[in-house]
A and B are shown apart, each in its own frame.
Chain A
Amino acid sequence: MARIGVFVCHCGINIAGVVDVEKVVQEIAKYPDVVHAEHYKYMCSDPGQNLIVNAIKEKRLDGVVVAACSPNMHETTFRNACERAGLNRYRCEMANIREQSSWVHADEPEKATEKAIQLLQVSVEKVKLNAELKEAAVPVTRRCLVIGGGIAGIQAALDVADAGYEVILVEKSPSIGGHMAQLSETFPTLDCSQCILTPKMVAVARHPNIRLMTYAEVVDVKGFVGNFKVKIHQKARYVTSDCNICGKCEEVCPVIAPNEFDRNLSPRKAIYLPFPQAVPARYTIDTNHCLGLNPLVCGKCKEVCEPKAVDYDMQDEDVEVDVGAIIVATGYELFPKDKIGEYGYGVYPDVIDGLEFERLLSASGPTGGEIIRPSDGKVPKVVAFIQCTASRDPDSYMPYCSKICCMYTAKHAMLYKHHVHDGKAFVFYIDIRAGGKDYEEFVKRTMEEERITYIRGKVSKVFRRGDKMVVWGSDTLSGEFVELEADLVVLASAIVPLPDTKKVANLLKIPVDENSFLKEAHPKLRPVETLVQGVYICGAAHGPKDIPETVAQASGAASKAVGILSGKELYHEPTTAEVNIDACSGCRICVDLCPFGAISFNENTHTVEVNEILCEGCGTCVAACPTGALKLRNMTDKQIFNMIRAALSGGD
């Protein structure tokens, strides 16, 4: 006979406003083996927890069920409370009567109450047969993997490394720096973007705790918090670290390719340095454009290389590393250009996006900082900026606000005026969202001091007339149709996650939201954690955000990772599979089923064995075991059968 105590939480009126908590207590008190039942306003509060602690002691309870919110919220809270009263933490379960009853059946209080009772019965049946378990201690690999070398990844890597732990920073492209390296100036201070970023890039390269792997991608992740095994694919760049970036190879290379760093507004060679301040400072051969890594075909770069750094025999390789924590900072891209038909982007060369305009503004850009339009190289005298391009448009494009466009468009308009004093700039906007320190003042300055015309309304169409770009829009404040002849149109295109983000999320088993941004564990309280322990997120891969917010989030993710790396040891969930070797027939079905390699066959006993540290407790093997020899601790077949019956009893 078990002695189960049931504690029903009101959660203020969140539960009690719908569910009749008195009735729940009355009914569940009659359920077999329930020896104590009570309700209280806030079970998670100190007095609430004390009710549980005292009842365990006074009523000699050997099992506890708390009917409250989701176990994802407070399971740990109540298990800790039970432990304080001397009850094994695995003898405590929750019944989710808030998220899965009161909140979703608000208009049917009687049925919600009935469901709450059934949910409680299910949990009582589970806890009755829960074994007392103890977590297994596992050592921690004191090393962190950071995926993505933009400002988010750079900041996270530096913070973890400064805390004294090894970091492996993996970046897909040949240099770290990300989009921030492409920007001209940053709002609202107009600091030169590269000037504030490059010291951090150099710090990464020089940091004794950071191992930088550029031109590399994470291709496989196994293991669990504290003990991840990661496979990194290092692409061959065909130039060794002996490269002294003299640039002679580039001079002789006969192949011209589009320069991605300049958003294809300028050419580069097949052997190239992405940009002058690239880290690592080392050339890369782009094999998609190179005539062939073969001295018989071309071989010019190899001929002129004095330090003999060009090596055509270099091979791609897979590197395996062990890490304890992972930070994902894979960044963003702008909405694909070929998908915005009405603005003629990708059709007319004089319709460009925000990052292309950044390159035009940048002193290191294709024009050396001179603003000229791509079609004929003339200085544009009228520029139209279109905000919310593909953002805030749930019918056709992305439903969300891309957050930084109001600010960078104001900056673009202001910088344009600084470059072209007699030019005119027009900004089409829906609303101005300038929430941030000194942001509102910055937009005001653009409007008032720089005399930029802001037109409130959406643009319906952009098309060519002669050598002008015609912009059709509306001014919703005057209610009039607007036609503007511009020389250049700049689109503040929506910020979208890189397609690779989804790939990385799949590898790590972390969820993404409906727009494919990485999803945090809790939107308010766990903004850098994910549902997978030991995996943290930061930067624009999580959602559109500006540089200060990205840096703050990166530092947050780093401190979370350091929390894992600095612990003495970690504890592994003991709710794993176990084998009854007397019943095991040695068929080995489970061995092939286990995705973690946790089950092995013992040739001597002709039975299988479960490695409890590798077992993640999914139970797939248990469901497949034909003899019932495998058992999932605290979720046995017997428990589930009882739970099913409890779910179906009553409520007729």
Chain B
Amino acid sequence: MKKLNKIIMLLVAMMLVLTACTTDSNPQDNGENITDETYKNIMFVVTGTLGGRTNNDDVLAAITDYVATVDGNVDTFECNMDASLYESTLMQVAETGEYDLIVTGFGTMIEPVSNTAERYPDQKFLIFDTQMDFSNGANSNVVSVQVLQNEGGFLAGALAAQLTTSDAEYANGDKVVGFVGAMESTSILDFLMGYIEGVNYVDPSIEVLYSFVGNHTDSALAKELGLSQYQQGADVVFAVGQNGLGVAEAAADAGRYLVGVDFDYSERLETTNKDAASKVLTSVIKDYRGMVYPMLEAINEGTIEWGTHSFISHAEEGVYLVNNDYTQAIVPSEVWSEYESVVEELNSGNIKVSTAFGASTDEIDKVKSEAKPQ
């Protein structure tokens, strides 16, 4: 009797395995969907996690709004920053052939997307916040989109430089501003290059201190680096990375200013830490919704060519600096009008900001060397 049970169990297990196989190895039926040129079923492969009011949540909101207009559906998969999952997940999703479009983002996804796109040429991909290599017809089933975040860094640098020489309440006499990045990644270096050029645009004799935490989680070390820069005379520090709250803490301790990134620092801090919120000059925000939504529409309408890259500039509102009550309380009015003239100049396209994307180490080092007072 016991033996019979075991055999039945085995049979059931085998049936389960077999049915799993059949659903997987049947992409032909769904392949027709793709040639339909309507993009309804979307898979969003998230590198990190959802639900932290992070960039990925903004992207998901953009996709959700988009699929509502075409009566479609969006599924998500969270990789939890586990890089070993990136490529295997993309491969599995592409293998099912159920999705008209796979959306994913950030520089760490370049290679996984490239490999998957090569293996599944009928699958379409949208990758945001990074630039793919489209030379020699590679990745012809992918589009990538980026905002010119270096322009955000440029404006933050310009405002910081104008404030450090002004008579704002917590500005000191030293011509020094700071920058604390999470890691020396291309994306963060892009912010740094814009920041240095923005400072130098206003006054090349201002020094820019910059340091990197070395990871995305150590907020206490970020605080230490911030404190160290404030002690060396910086009165504004631009914190770029997920551990920026540590630098905000340093700003509150040192009684100096902070420029945040990714979300509105003053809004986040004002309910629990008013003192820290009042030191937030502004936050540079990449509009992920503004980055992804127009791309989805363009893809659906067929107005975008596959195998191309798009930039969304500050003038097109891809990136912006928060201007709220805290900003206005900190910045003296004559400084603000100076700053606005820089914004106009940038939007008119008269200023070309260097970027770390696609730049060689020498080019990046050249901009870094301009951080010293000239």
A binds B: no
Task: Please give the residue numbers on chain A whose beta carbons come within 8 Å of chain B beta carbons, in ascending order.
Answer: none
